[in-house]
Amino acid sequence: MSLVLRNLQRVVPLRRARLRHDVELLRRIARIEKFDLGLVCVDNRRIQRINSIYRRINMPTDVLSFPFYEASCCDNLTSLTSDLPRDELNLGDIFLGVEYILTQCQESSEDFYSNLTVITLHGICHLLGYKHGSDDKWIEMFQKEKHILSEFNRLTGSRLEPLTTRFSS
């Protein structure tokens, strides 16, 4: 199944092939290649608008996830692929606030594409039903991200850390 990438903004020059390559690797490691996934890169104006509509927070942010399935499905989703019809093999959409992410990277002198990868994985985990609202859920999500990024780092030579680290409650 496919990773649909859309770049709706002009503020940040985006290397589409690089982003796709990294996210495809994440999908393979997380064993979700059979699911369609939408990745939409937007600017501050658009992510703020979406944040305001769907979370009542009138500010830009780094990532917003819109799962196709209810949160309770969680990791069981990957084992249901044989039961689901083809047009329901859909994880959902992730909106990346690339302008917001770039600003954060510039302020903290971090690599933009490394951050994009980590933030996209965070979004993927939300699509799979992981949350970080409580300590237990935070630990569960952190472990999931850590597991996937460990394998990603092994394959690519990167040194990426989970985004959930920054959400410690």
User: What is the DSSP secondary structure assignment for residue 160, as one 8-state letter?
Assistant: -
Q: How many CB atoms lie within 10 A of CB 118?
A: 27
Residue 154 binding another protein, by CB under 8 A = no
How far is 108 from 106, CA to CA, in rounded Å?
6
Residue 120 binding another protein, by CB under 8 A = no
Residues between 55 and 74 with contacts to another protein, criterion CB under 8 A: 66
**Chain centre to alpha carbon of residue 70:** 17
Residue 118 binding another protein, by CB under 8 A = no
Strands 90-97 and 36-42: parallel
Choice between 45 and 166, CB closer to another protein: 45
Of these, 25, 33, 46, 74, which contacts another protein (CB under 8 A)? 46
Of these, 1, 5, 73, 89, which contacts another protein (CB under 8 A)? 5
Binding segment toward another protein, per CB under 8 A, in 1-9, 98-106, 109-117, 135-143: 1-9
How far is 153 from 88, CA to CA, in rounded Å?
31
Question: Whose CA is closest to 79, among 34, 123, 120?
Answer: 34
Beta bridge partners of 4: 38
Residue 1 binding another protein, by CB under 8 A = no
Q: Binding residues for another protein, per CB under 8 A?
A: 2-10, 13-17, 20-21, 24, 40, 46, 49-50, 53, 66
